[in-house]
Amino acid sequence: MKILVTGGLGFIGSHTVVELQNQGFEVVAIDNLSNSSIEVLEGIERITGKKPIFENIDLREKSSVQNFFKKYQDIVGVIHFAASKAVGESVENPLLYYENNINTLVYVLQELTKLPQANFIFSSSCTVYGQAEKMPITENASVQPAISPYGNTKQIGEEIIQDVAKVTNVNSILLRYFNPIGAHPSAEIGELPKGVPQNLVPYITQTGIGIRKELSVYGNDYPTPDGTCIRDYIHVVDLAKAHVIALQRLLNKQNVEKVETFNLGTGTGSSVLEVIHAFEKVSGQKLPYKIVDRREGDVIAAYANTDKANAVLGWKAKSSLEEALSSAWDWEQKIRS
Ligand code: WQD
């Protein structure tokens, strides 16, 4: 069965391609390499023994999307990762984010509706919840007005998919990720942030290896036990596996609604200082850090209630924070060696 993975050479995309191939799916990966590297294909091959079919396509070009779907009419499912994801950049250049994340989604859905089997998995985000009133966060928590254009593209994306489901044959699953971290245990693929990392874990591993002088901890005066923000850090391989299960649910027509939504997290919240200490434990070294002002737009706490994914998908994150950090550290050491 042929599956399209857009953004297939990116961080979560590449790990999902591996899990799909491990389960016997034939994968066609699309990527425009704007935030990924062609060498990822070799990493995937070293893990699975097989390279996915690869098409270097920019999904912002409508005619390229149309031509792609004419060529691959036997696609039975699409996992759509391709998007920009830097919150700060989205504030500075909102139109780039609406073009990259919304236009591309529209073009892919337009073609998908023409296929006999229209199964669609969408990368959404826990940012749609903003600062939720109750922890852990269930899928029923209300969607809050987005703080950044990036967050808004995820909310609008979900709404587009809901509207399309009402009038077409497209069946979709929206996966709301909490904080994906880590790398494949083989250290053949992992996260490759361009420039200075904006996210906590790549900043930590780059500080650990000596590329960054010290980590800035954004605020220690939050109303949390140690004063730093709390997030739900999920190993990217656990996350990738959930995509395969969600896809199988659609392929087997087990979905009970045309659009289903699942939180993907571990269910456990960790503070920034807890992440730092866990990293120090797995790496066996002290991490230089300083406390600085709060970062604009950060919520105090966000961690998932994963009961729905556990019960309905039969999926549960297996890796601990330490295992995830350990894999991220192995990867960082490997790419710098
Ligand atoms: C985690 C915690 C920071 C960097 C964002 C997006 C979200 C998702 C993932 C996907 C926070 C603190 C961070 C640093 C720090 N999107 N921190 N020093 O903000 O939870 O989520 O990325 O693609 O949609 O909003 O993740 O890793 O940036 O931050 O103290 O140098 O680490 O304040 O508490 P965040 P993050």
Per-residue pLDDT tens for 64-87? Answer: 999 999 999 999 999 999 999 999
What is the total count of domains within the chain? Answer: 1
Describe the crossing of helices 62-71 and 104-112 by its angle, rounded to 10 degrees: 30
CA distance 302 to 225: 14
Q: Decide: 38 and 259 in contact? Cβ < 8 Å.
A: no
Position in ligand 1 atom list of the atom nearest CA 181: 27
User: Which residues lie across from 290 on neighbouring strands?
Assistant: 216
Q: Is residue 318 part of a domain?
A: no
The tokens of 90 are what?
């989205």
Half-sphere exposure of 191 (CA within 13 A, CB side): 28
Tens digit of pLDDT for each residue in 272-281? 999 999 999 9
Task: Give the closest residue (by CA) to ligand 1 atom 28.
Answer: 199
Contact (CB, 8 A) for 104 and 81? no
- Residue 243 belongs to a domain: yes
Separation of CA 200 and ligand 1 centre (Å): 6
The verdict on residue 24 lying in a domain is yes
Q: Is residue 258 part of a domain?
A: yes
**What pLDDT shows up at residue 144?**
95
Does the residue 175 lie in any domain? yes
Q: Kindly indicate the confidence band of residue 337, based on its pLDDT and cuts at 50, 70 and 90.
A: confident
Catalytic residue among 97, 107, 129, 150: 150
Q: Are 48 and 25 in contact (CB under 8 A)?
A: no
CA dist 237 and 264 (Å) reads 12
Is 22 contained in some domain?
yes
Q: Is the torsion defined by CA of 19, 242, 332, 37 positive or negative?
A: positive
pTM: 0.98
Digit-coded pLDDT (tens) for 243-279: 999 999 999 999 999 999 999 999 999 999 999 999 9
- d(CA 251, CA 268) in angstroms, rounded, equals 31
Question: pLDDT category, 16, cuts 50, 70, 90?
Answer: very high
Cβ atoms 245, 287 nearer than 8 A: no
* Torsion angle (degrees, nearest 10) of CA 304, 309, 310, 315: -110
Active site residue 150: yes
> CA 176, CA 178: separation in Å to the nearest integer?
7
Q: What is the CATH number of the domain that holds 124?
A: 3.40.50.720
- The tens digit of pLDDT for each residue in 187-233 reads 999 999 989 999 999 999 999 999 999 999 999 999 999 999 999 99
Q: For residue 285, tell me if it sits in a domain.
A: no
Amino acid, single-letter form, for residue 158: E
Asked whether 289 lines ligand 1 (CB < 6 A), one says no
Is residue 60 assigned to a domain? yes
Q: Do residues 183 and 236 lie in contact, with contact meaning Cβ atoms separated by under 8 Å?
A: yes
pLDDT tens for 82-114 read 999 999 999 999 999 999 999 999 999 999 999
- Print the domain residue range for 175: 2-182+234-265
For ligand 1, what atom is nearest to the CA of residue 126? 24
Mutate to test the pocket of ligand 1, among 295, 296, 321, 325 (most ligand atoms within 8 A of CB): 295
Is residue 248 packed enough to be buried (19+ CB in 10 Å), middle (13-18) or exposed (0-12)? Answer: middle
Cα–Cα distance, 75 to 112 (Å, whole number) = 9
